């Protein structure tokens, strides 16, 4: 387990000399910090290799400790444990299996009874009880999604040994233990931020490291979300979102809804029963998109967009979607040119519900108009975890950018599309279609912030 000179390799030496992998600057910073710091917290944008770092750290720690050693890794769900971090572990282990030794299982690497690594889901705290070793590393992947209860269980392990703790995640939350590691508790942690702008591929404007975030991806996200969007700060810059009091739907709620959708794909929830609803948002300007969105129950099944399409063409696409999916309800935005789509579909005998969101709300003492009421309904669905949406970058960005205020009568009022354009944001066409899809599914809407 020692190098040729008898010296135990550092994580960087282990990566280069034993695993034979090349690291970029931020990855070297993360692994190098494990030698000097007991707690390390890493917040990162997307596609920057933070999970790869964690896999190297896991293999290194168990390899260099000759006697007893335990590595525990966790993530919010077992699916994430198995398919994210441990997939990386397997890829690094396979070509070096003879040198590293032990037996590699699905989410467990066993060298001896008291030298092993294993993955645990962060669903119940009692899974973390009973682990004792003089040498211990705890890796928390997707750390932003792990509950405070699990962090408390991890702290209990920290008191019974002198382990290393590595937190890695996307900074999408405005509360919780991962965020506290960079604010209230930053004196306990060595903090590292990895921005996509630091990526060698972005710096050089070409592919230097295959698979790492590219300059093109960053520019696409800038155009899609806008630099002022909380999701751009989190997924590109690796910074926690500046979520003001006027933010309608928290970025963490949007991210969790996308995670529920992904988990449902694996669990077969895509075929779950529920009311089928089609919602259509009709483009008004050249840069806007018409959107046909289909949901089944609380799960968004499909989002289709169309550009530069006249009302007759769009009506044809909606008619085809109706014939294909047999929805219980079809809601079409009838403001402006949308009225033409509604009229054409009704003329053909389709049961269409035209909706003008500028009209008064059913609870007009609380909401300035139907648009505000519909979006507040969405806020409740996201906050309560009752909705699942695909990992659609445009949809998620639009939802995270929504703001609200109050009118002179104290009623909820959504930020206008014109005001959003002045902030450099595109029209929230997909978000509007989502709002229409759930508009009539609630009896009463609670008012809370």
SS (H, E, C) the chain: CCCCCCCCCCHHHHHHHHHCCCCCHHHHHHHHHHHHCCEEEEEECCCCCHHHHHHHHHHHHHHHCCCCEEEEEEECCHHHHHHHHHHHHHHHHHHHHHHHCCEECCCEEEEECCEEEEEEECCCHHHHCCCCCCCEEEEECCHHHCCHHHHHHHHHHHHHCCCEEEEEECCCCCCCHHHHCCCCCHHHCEEEEECHHHCHHHHHCCCCCCCCCCHHHHHHHHHHHCCCCHHHHHHHHCCCCCCCCCECCCHHHHHHHHHHHHHHHHHCHHHCCCCEEEEEECCCCCCCCEEEEEEECCEEEEEEEECCCCHHHHHHHHHHHHHHHCCCEEEEECCCCHHHHHHHHHHCCCCCEEECCCCCCCCCCCECCHHHHHHHHHHHHHHCCCCECCCCHHHHHHHHHCEEEECCCCCEEECCHHHHHHCCCCCCHHHHHHHHHCCCCCCCCCCCC
The burial class, CB within 10 Å (0-12 / 13-18 / 19+), for 338 is: buried
The whole-number pLDDT of residue 353 equals 93
Tell me the average pLDDT across 414-424.
Answer: 86
pLDDT tier, 447 (very low <50, low <70, confident <90, very high otherwise): very low
**Whether residue 200 has pLDDT greater than 70:** yes
Q: Are 338 and 356 in contact (CB under 8 A)?
A: no
Q: Are 76 and 149 in contact (CB under 8 A)?
A: no
The whole-number pLDDT of residue 3 equals 43
**Whether residue 48 has pLDDT greater than 80:** yes
Q: Which two tokens stand for residue 422?
A: 């002045």
pLDDT tier, 446 (very low <50, low <70, confident <90, very high otherwise): very low
**Whether residue 174 has pLDDT greater than 90:** no
The DSSP bridge partners found for residue 410 are: none
Q: Are 197 and 237 in contact (CB under 8 A)?
A: yes
pLDDT tier, 336 (very low <50, low <70, confident <90, very high otherwise): confident
- The torsion angles phi and psi of 336, rounded to 5 degrees, stand at 65, -130
- The torsion angles phi and psi of 304, rounded to 5 degrees, stand at -120, 140
pLDDT tier, 229 (very low <50, low <70, confident <90, very high otherwise): confident
**Whether residue 13 has pLDDT greater than 60:** yes
Domains of the chain: 11-194 (3.40.50.300), 204-237 (no CATH), 251-437 (3.30.420.240)
Q: Are 254 and 394 in contact (CB under 8 A)?
A: no
The whole-number pLDDT of residue 257 equals 94
Most confident of 121-135, 175-189, 318-332: 318-332
Tell me the average pLDDT across 341-367.
Answer: 93
pLDDT tier, 121 (very low <50, low <70, confident <90, very high otherwise): confident
**Whether residue 252 has pLDDT greater than 60:** yes
The whole-number pLDDT of residue 301 equals 95
Tell me the average pLDDT across 379-397.
Answer: 93
Per the prediction, the chain carries an average pLDDT of: 89
Tell me the average pLDDT across 385-389.
Answer: 95
Q: Are 413 and 407 in contact (CB under 8 A)?
A: yes
The burial class, CB within 10 Å (0-12 / 13-18 / 19+), for 44 is: buried
Q: How far apart are CA 130 and CA 127, in angstroms?
A: 8
Tokens 């944008």 correspond to: 45
Q: Are 335 and 356 in contact (CB under 8 A)?
A: yes
Percent of the chain surpassing pLDDT 90: 68
pLDDT tier, 441 (very low <50, low <70, confident <90, very high otherwise): low
**Whether residue 57 has pLDDT greater than 90:** yes
The whole-number pLDDT of residue 20 equals 94
The whole-number pLDDT of residue 268 equals 65
Per-residue pLDDT tens over the stretch 271-316: 667 899 999 999 876 557 899 999 999 999 999 999 888 889 999 9
Tell me the average pLDDT across 4-29.
Answer: 87
């Amino acid at each position: 387990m020692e190098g040729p000179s008898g010296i135990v390799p550092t994580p960087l030496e282990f990566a280069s000399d034993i695993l034979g992998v090349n690291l970029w600057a931020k990855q070297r910073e993360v692994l190098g910090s494990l030698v000097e710091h007991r707690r390390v917290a890493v917040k990162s944008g997307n596609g920057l290799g933070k999970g790869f770092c964690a896999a190297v750290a896991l293999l290194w720690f168990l390899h260099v400790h000759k006697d007893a050693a335990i590595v525990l890794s966790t993530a919010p769900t077992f699916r994430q444990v198995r398919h994210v971090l441990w997939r990386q572990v397997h890829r690094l282990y396979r070509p070096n299996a003879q040198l590293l030794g032990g037996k590699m299982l699905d989410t467990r690497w066993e060298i001896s009874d008291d030298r092993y690594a294993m993955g645990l889901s962060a669903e119940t705290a009692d899974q973390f009880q009973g682990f004792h070793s003089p040498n211990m590393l705890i890796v928390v992947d997707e750390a932003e999604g792990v509950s405070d209860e699990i962090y408390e269980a991890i702290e209990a392990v920290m008191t019974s040994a002198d382990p290393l703790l590595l937190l890695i995640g996307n900074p999408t939350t405005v509360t919780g233990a991962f965020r506290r590691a960079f604010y209230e508790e930053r004196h306990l942690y060595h903090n590292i931020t990895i921005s996509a702008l630091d990526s060698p591929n972005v710096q050089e404007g070409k592919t230097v490291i295959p698979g790492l975030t590219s300059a093109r991806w960053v520019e696409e996200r800038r155009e899609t979300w806008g630099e002022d969007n909380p999701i751009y700060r989190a997924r590109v810059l690796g910074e926690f979102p500046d979520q003001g009091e006027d933010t309608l739907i928290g970025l963490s709620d949007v991210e969790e809804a996308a995670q529920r959708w992904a988990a449902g794909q694996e669990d077969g929830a895509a075929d779950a029963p529920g009311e089928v609803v089609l919602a259509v948002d009709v483009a008004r300007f050249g840069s806007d998109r018409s959107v046909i969105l289909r949901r089944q129950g609380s799960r968004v099944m499909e989002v289709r967009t169309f550009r530069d399409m006249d009302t007759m063409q769009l009506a044809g696409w909606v008619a085809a979607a109706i014939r294909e999916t047999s929805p219980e309800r079809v809601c079409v935005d009838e403001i402006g040119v949308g009225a033409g789509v509604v009229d054409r579909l009704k003329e053909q005998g389709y049961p269409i519900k035209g909706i003008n969101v500028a009209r008064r709300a059913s609870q007009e003492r609380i909401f300035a108009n139907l648009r505000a009421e519909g979006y507040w309904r969405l806020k409740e669905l996201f906050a309560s975890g009752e909705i699942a949406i695909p990992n659609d970058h445009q949809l998620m960005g639009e939802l995270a950018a929504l703001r609200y205020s109050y009118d002179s009568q104290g009623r909820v009022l959504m930020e206008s599309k014109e005001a959003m354009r002045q902030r450099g944001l595109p029209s929230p066409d997909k978000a509007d279609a989502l709002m229409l899809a759930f508009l009539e599914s609630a009896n009463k809407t609670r008012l809370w912030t």
